[in-house]
A and B are shown apart, each in its own frame.
Chain A
Amino acid sequence: MPNMPLLDVQNLTIVYRTNAGPVIAAEDVCFTLERGRAVGIVGESGCGKTTIGMALMGLLPENGFVQQGRIIIEDTDLLSLTKPALRALRWKKMAMIFQAAMNALNPVHRVGDQIAEAIQTHYPDYSADKTRKEVAALFDLVDIPRNRIDDYPHQYSGGMKQRAVIAMALSCKPDLIIADEPTTALDVIVQDQILKKIKAFQDDMNIATIVISHDIGVVSEVCDNIMVMYKGRMIEYGKCEEVFMSPAHPYTVALLSSHLSLDSTYDFQADIENITEAPAASVLPGACGYAEKCRHADVQCFVQTPAWRHLSSTHRVLCLKVVTNDQ
């Protein structure tokens, strides 16, 4: 099959055991991703974005587990792998730029050495010389001048640290990169550079990318498809243009209209939908998860769980009120 997706996630449900009982952090997540493509996961903090990324890496914390679903990368079912087999795939098949990773660089080691160490963990047979060359190549790739290889993290600016972290993720030439909030805490110009870089890898190296962000503007820059999440559930999925041009879920609409941009107008006085912070999970059983906040909610929304509705072959939404044309 020529168009076989690289990544196929089906009905993924992830649960955390906590003192207060199990917490469903992600529920029924389905999507596919081809090589060289990018999908964006957006939603406010706590909606389960990082959890999905961690599950794809097989790095869920001890108290988290996949309750249901499949994660298939190429032909491998990740969830059926043993730990050593998974470890062999990790970083070579899929790599992750962790949230706030740039602040986690070890302050007492040179940046170049930290990347070299990452390489040597996976290619123990590389000579020091060869590793060094690889590191230099990676620095070129992410546009950090080679003479900064032997600097310490505190000598780097925020943008450079983030590039170094990206270089680390690229060090084993993965097919899939998961970037968790890659530009949060960076300013706009640096954010733009980082996003362009990510986009370039996707195109030049045919890497599939998952970009996780709470900022829909970031996702719009690099992604082909967008997944909007709310309280652990996907609520809308579609092509970038579709979601931006004709958002269907009321939450997506609210999210988009709260994004300030240079060419939009925003009426502060108007009483538009206020997105308030929602705790994760705690969805009423048998109701739409967004019902308590939704302007369009009616009785039905409180007694019926919405099912996916298809607005086009690529655009679907989890809302009872959307008028669809294929039914």
Chain B
Amino acid sequence: MISDQDRIQSPADIILRVENVVKAYEMRHFSFGGSHKTSPAVDNVTIRINRGEAFGLVGGSGSGKTTLARLILKLERFDAGAIHFEDLNVGKLKGPSLKSFRRKIQMIPQDPYQSLNPYFSIFETVAEPLVIHRIGDDKARRRIVENAMVLSGLTPAADYYDRYPHQLSGGQRQRVAIARAVVLEPQFIIADEPTSMLDASISIAVFKLLHTIKRRHNVTFLFITHDLAAARHFCERIAVMHRGKIIETGATEKIIGNPQAPYTKALIAAQPRFVSFRNIGKESAKK
């Protein structure tokens, strides 16, 4: 086994290369019947993500993070540039190669209230990717689904099978979304602000879960967030995005300790800070 350090050094182990990608949305004019392109939502973005790392994409709302994620997932076409996932050229994927790409890369969505089909039971939701990719028979699927759900903290899994999304809390729904994302054992997971709709206290549990998945299964993460503090706790490297452009990339501690771009500085200044109570807090957990 090669150590993590070696793997990251080797250039062959870049799992995702986004090169000079541009995407502008078309705006329709209902009155004129024509259309024109707006200023790009993703503007000449280049990032490289190493296998096994957690890469943070940080930026305010509207900065183009979700758009970039959708481009990588081939949910949207880009106007220029290239995206390579391993040796696959994402822009050109079709048919069987697209399907095998879909097995390798998954997403954890932002809004747990909108991202599950209300008509699917939890079992159907988590098992759907297996059905789509024709993996296993009924019995094997049951086992795989159970494993994924247990991993995602939905235990006992059987208790959830027949439930429907409307019967779960936000945190539980997000766990279902995570179980669905890991059920195919993907190599790469894009988490698009997975906790922004959850209570602070629940989002920490989700973080822990993502952390476990990353560690145990050596999954590469593209972790999208507007919260620098969250990125700091989860990611080895981060890129700061602003108005469609990547304005700063580097090791997390370096960017937070020594930000260069003015926007990054503002982002850091805006973080709520209160006296470091944690240690004191732990002690006063009396007895």
A/B: CB atoms within 8 Å of each other: yes
Q: Give residues in A with beta carbon < 8 Å to B.
A: 44-45, 157-158, 185-193, 195, 214-218, 220-221, 240-241, 244-248, 250, 253-266, 268-269, 274-277, 295-296, 321-323
**Across the interface, which residues of B come within 8 angstroms of A216, CB to CB?**
200
Which of A253, A258, A264, A266 is B284 in contact with, Cβ under 8 Å?
Answer: A253
Q: How many A-B residue pairs have CB under 8 A?
A: 137
A-B contact pairs, 20 of them (CB 8 A): A157-B62, A185-B196, A190-B60, A195-B272, A215-B200, A216-B200, A244-B274, A245-B275, A246-B284, A253-B285, A254-B201, A255-B201, A258-B204, A259-B200, A260-B207, A260-B230, A262-B228, A262-B232, A275-B202, A277-B199
The answer to whether B268 has its CB under 8 Å from any CB of chain A is yes
Which of A218, A247, A277 is B277 in contact with, Cβ under 8 Å?
Answer: A247
Chain B residues touching A, majority SS:
helix
Other A-B contacts than A185-B196, A192-B272, A214-B200, 8 sampled, CB-CB below 8 A, are A45-B170, A186-B61, A188-B227, A214-B201, A215-B199, A262-B229, A274-B205, A277-B171
Chain A residues touching B, majority SS:
loop
Chain B minimum-CB-distance residue to A158: B61
**Across the interface, which residues of A come within 8 angstroms of B282, CB to CB?**
253, 257
**Across the interface, which residues of B come within 8 angstroms of A268, CB to CB?**
207-208, 211-212, 233
Which of the listed residues B62, B170, B171, B284 has the most CB atoms from chain A within 10 Å of its own CB? B284
Separation in Å of the A212 CB from the closest CB of chain B? 13
A245 and B276 CA atoms in complex are apart in Å by 8
Chain A minimum-CB-distance residue to B63: A187
**Across the interface, which residues of A come within 8 angstroms of B233, CB to CB?**
260, 266, 268
CB atoms of B201 and A256 under 8 A apart: no
Separation in Å of the B19 CB from the closest CB of chain A? 27
The answer to whether B256 has its CB under 8 Å from any CB of chain A is yes
A296 and B287 CA atoms in complex are apart in Å by 8
Which of B61, B199, B266 is A44 in contact with, Cβ under 8 Å?
Answer: B199
Which of A45, A188, A217, A323 is B226 in contact with, Cβ under 8 Å?
Answer: A188
Which of the listed residues A188, A221, A240 has the most CB atoms from chain B within 10 Å of its own CB? A188
**Across the interface, which residues of A come within 8 angstroms of B212, CB to CB?**
268
CB atoms of A262 and B278 under 8 A apart: no
**Across the interface, which residues of A come within 8 angstroms of B132, CB to CB?**
none
Which of A189, A259, A323 is B270 in contact with, Cβ under 8 Å?
Answer: A189
A193 and B196 CA atoms in complex are apart in Å by 19
CB atoms of A217 and B200 under 8 A apart: yes
**Across the interface, which residues of B come within 8 angstroms of A275, CB to CB?**
201-202, 204-205
